[in-house]
Chains A and B, each alone.
Chain A
Amino acid sequence: MRLELKDLPFDRGGALLVKRAVRNSRRITVSATHPDSFVHLRAWCRVQGHGFELDRENNSAVVTRGDAETQRWSESERAGAHEAVVDLPSQRWGLAARGALVEAGSPEFHFALSHKLEVWSEDAPRIYAQAAASQWDPATAIPWDTPFELPGDVEDAVVQLMTYLVENETAALIVPSRFAAQLHPHFREVMQVLAIQAADEARHIEVFTRRALLRSRQPGLSTAGGQASLQTLVEEPDFATASFLLSVLGEGTFLSLLWFIQRFAPDPVTAAVCRLAAQDEARHVAFGMSHLRRHIRAEPVFRQTLANAVRRRHDALRHTAGLNTEVFEALILLAAGSWHPADLIRGSDGVDALLQEMNRDRVKRLEWIGFPTAEAEELSSLHTRNFM
């Protein structure tokens, strides 16, 4: 094979042409008119392990392909197939794209979450795509500048609710972030779901903080009982258990809470931040339910592990206050809309209905992922009083 570089400089594309030609033919004759071409070609061939023979008379050189490139890839393997997720991907596939050809001798990684059973959901690609398409901009999606006036007590109640939401959403950001770093990248779509879930929570933290400080100089109260409840989530070492406690039970319960606040919101900003957050939370709940249902179907005994986690958490939190009084009272005040006794009764009824709805929906979710009704009811009743 003959390759004519003419006056194309070797370091400006000439090397690419030679490389391509050598790949296709074991022996090529290269001719060139650029003065540096053969100096570069000789050095390049030496480094690549190719033979080089200069023919000064004909202003050409013969390049003979060495074996290095073939040898480099001789023991390589595909990191699975692009469209097929394997049960236990090799740690040596590391960060490679699913289906990529991985050179032998690549370093061994130590991703703790490497079993498909533990993490995978067939819904992950769809949930990620939906999440990516639903990202909203806190600067423009919320009517921050809409004028409104609230009585001081009502504003204080909103500030307290926002303070509580920030605290809970912080836990909801930390948990998926921690597991995203432990997940084998072969499960790309799950990694993406966890990443976008963390990004969702980052936005929620932003908008709840901004609403809290819209009229107030500082946020409200953070209680020891609330933090103790969240600490059990943040410190849960097992992915599936954490996902169960956070997404199925916690964020599931939060869905009812956010829609409740949205419904009784005294101002358009509070309504908007809760509505947008609730839409995101619904996806988090969907992913958690989807992969846990799959896990329980494949391994029914795993249900007991999850049930025990709820009981253990309940025992650990038995002596804590749970939901802080201020949050509870703020919810009543929001639902009441005023301090008038008749309104307060209506507000209290509303919060009672909220708690019943939370419980009813938790039972439904537990049943959907595979718990019998009686056990679902028991576990729902043991869920933390802090909601998350």
Chain B
Amino acid sequence: MNDCLLLGAVAYDPKVVTIWDGFRTWFQKRGLPFDYILYTNYERQVQAQFSGHIHVAWNSPLAWLQSQRLAASFGRRAEAICMRDTDRDLTSVVITRQNSGISAIADLKGRRVAVGAPDSPQATLIPLSFLAQHGVERGRDIEVLEFDVAPGKHGDHIGGERDAVRALVRGECDAACLIDSNLLLFAQEGTIPFGSTRLIAQTPPYDHCNFTVLDNAPAALVARFQRLLLAMSYEDPEVRRLLDMEGLKRWLPGRTEGYALLSDAVERFGYLNRFLELASTQCASS
């Protein structure tokens, strides 16, 4: 198995096949034996990596934390080797309708807040944790309306955020949480009619996906993979269409300090406890 670098990715959209087929060809042309395996959800991908089925996982931020904590529980080490330029310094926002009478986070008390999928870092976990930090807690102070589109995809499918915003526009809730880039997208595509909503909060910046490897990954192949990623140029028309589909202009080295907000959120909500318990048992017995 170690003669070919195997990457895992989650099929959150049909374009994922086009993207990784394209990257596979590109890597192979440059002498890196490379193939990929698609998973239907991040939890299965994380477990597959610990079971030795894949060397590299293209992980969501939540899947990164799952891997990192699972590795720690086994006395092992996970490393984030690369990420997109667009994975750095994202923010989430909380918006309300223009005429809702809500002007600050505290005004949300007693109101209903729409979020994305329960496992979405950007549209659920981070913003709800941010609200809690500011004294507005789920269950106690606000009713949370979840839009659970594509569970297991960790919010990669933006349908949940779009549904949350639509619910806000229709008046079915008082606020909605989403990532900043989708706020712009929804405004441009007309999902948010001009002037109909107002921003009431913005989280500090955080980071998103990364390529995760475990400490037993084939070092030479991983090093070559990382070098090739960092060498990809937006000038290259063959790779540019893939970068456009994957939503980046260039790959950057991985960094992990940008996951602090999400780490705080999963701690606060005890979100990973059940997964870690189950995965520890399954991975230990496999």
Considering the complex, give the chain B residue whose CB is closest to the CB of A105.
Answer: B237
Q: Chain A contacts of B234 at CB under 8 A?
A: 49, 67-68, 71-72
Q: Which of these, A11, A36, A42, A103, contacts B188 with CB under 8 Å?
A: A11
Q: How far is the CA of A103 from the CA of B91 in the complex (A)?
A: 32
Cβ contact within 8 Å between A42 and B250? no
Q: How far is the CA of A229 from the CA of B36 in the complex (A)?
A: 58
Cross-chain contact B85 with A12 (CB below 8 angstroms): no
| Docked-complex contact B235 and A46, CB < 8 angstroms | no
Expressed in whole angstroms, the minimum distance between the Cβ of A258 and any Cβ of chain B is 53
Q: Are B237 and A47 in contact (CB under 8 A)?
A: no
Q: How far is the CA of A158 from the CA of B67 in the complex (A)?
A: 85
- Name A residues whose Cβ lies closer than 8 Å to a Cβ of B: 9-12, 35-36, 39-40, 42-44, 46-49, 52, 66-68, 71-72, 74-75, 103-105
Q: What is the minimal beta-carbon distance from B61 to any residue of chain A, in angstroms?
A: 15
Q: Say yes or no: is B233 at the interface (Cβ < 8 Å to chain A).
A: yes
Roughly how many angstroms separate A17 CA and B199 CA in the complex, as a whole number? 22
- CB contacts (< 8 Å) of B249 on chain A: these are 48-49, 66-68
Are the CB atoms of B237 and A42 closer together than 8 Å? no
Chain A residue with Cβ nearest B95 = A36
Interface of chain B, main secondary structure: mixed
Distance between Cα atoms of A72 and B249 in the complex (Å):
10
Chain A residues positioned under 8 Å from B93 (CB to CB): 39
The reply to whether B181 and A46 contact each other, CB–CB distance below 8 Å, is: yes
Interface assignment of B102: CB less than 8 Å from any CB of chain A: no
Q: What chain B residues lie within 8 Å of A48 (beta carbons)?
A: 249
- 14 more contacts with CB within 8 A, not counting A11-B194, A48-B249, are A11-B184, A39-B91, A39-B93, A40-B180, A40-B184, A43-B180, A46-B88, A47-B247, A49-B234, A49-B249, A49-B250, A52-B89, A68-B234, A105-B238
- Give A49 to B241 CA distance when docked, in angstroms: 15
- Chain A residues near B199: list those with CB within 8 A: 35-36, 39
A42 to B91, CA, bound (A): 9
8 A Cβ contacts from B86-112 to A:
86, 88-91, 93
Interface centre among B180, B188, B194, B199 (most CB of A within 10 A): B180
Interface pair A35/B198, CB less than 8 Å apart:
yes
With contacts defined as CB atoms under 8 Å apart, how many contacts are there between chain A and chain B in the complex? 67
**For residue A47, which residues in chain B have a CB less than 8 angstroms away from its CB?**
86, 181, 247
* Residues of B close to A68: CB separation below 8 A: 234, 249
Interface residues of B in 162-193 (CB under 8 A from A): 179-181, 183-184, 187-188
Is B86 in contact with A44, judged by CB distance below 8 angstroms? no
Instruction: Identify A10's interface contact among B90, B181, B184, CB under 8 A.
Output: B184
B240 contacts the other chain (Cβ, under 8 Å)? yes
Specify the chain A residue showing the minimal Cβ separation from B195: A9
Q: List 18 A-B contacts (CB under 8 A).
A: A11-B188, A35-B199, A36-B183, A39-B183, A39-B202, A40-B183, A43-B91, A43-B179, A43-B180, A46-B86, A47-B86, A48-B249, A49-B249, A49-B250, A72-B240, A74-B235, A75-B235, A103-B237
Residue on B nearest A38 in the bound complex, by CB: B202
CB distance from B54 to the nearest CB of A (A): 28
CB < 8 Å neighbour of B183 from A43, A46, A71: A43
Complex Cα distance, B88 from A52, in Å, reads 11
Q: Which residues of B contact A72 (CB under 8 A)?
A: 234-235, 240
Chain B residues with CB under 8 Å of A104's CB are 237
**How many whole Å from A32's CB to the nearest CB in chain B?**
13
Chain B residues closer than 8 Å to A74, beta-carbon distance: 235
- A68 CA / B244 CA spacing, docked (Å): 11
A36 to B95, CA, bound (A): 10
Task: State A25–B89 Cα separation when bound (angstroms).
Answer: 24
Please name all residues of chain A whose beta carbon is closer than 8 Å to the beta carbon of B86 when the two chains form the complex: 46-47
Q: Residues of A contacting B247 with CB < 8 Å? A: 47
Query: What separation, in Å, do the CA atoms of A374 and B249 have in the docked complex?
Result: 68
Whether A46 contacts B90 in the complex (CB less than 8 A), given A40-B183, A104-B237, comes out as: yes
Q: Which residues of A have CB within 8 Å of B88?
A: 46
**B240: chain A residues within 8 A (beta carbon):** 71-72, 105
Q: How far is the CB of B99 from chain A (nearest CB, A)?
A: 15
| Bound Cα distance A348, B250 (Å) | 82
Q: Assess A39 versus B180: contact at CB under 8 Å? Given A71-B235, A72-B240.
A: yes
Whether B241 and A105, one on each chain, are in contact in the complex, defined by CB atoms closer than 8 angstroms, is yes
A75 CB, nearest partner CB in chain B, Å: 6
Q: How far is the CA of A388 from the CA of B9 in the complex (A)?
A: 62
Which residues on the A side are within 8 Å of B179 (C-beta)? Answer: 43
With CB as the reference atom, state the residue of chain B lying closest to A9.
B194
- Cα A42 to Cα B184 with chains together (Å): 10
Smallest Cβ-Cβ distance to A42: which chain B residue:
B180
Q: Mark B233-262, 1 if CB is under 8 A from A, else 0.
A: 111011011000001011000000000000
Roughly how many angstroms separate A71 CA and B247 CA in the complex, as a whole number?
16
Closest to A10 in B: B184
Which chain B residues lie closer than 8 Å to A36 at the CB level? Answer: 183, 199
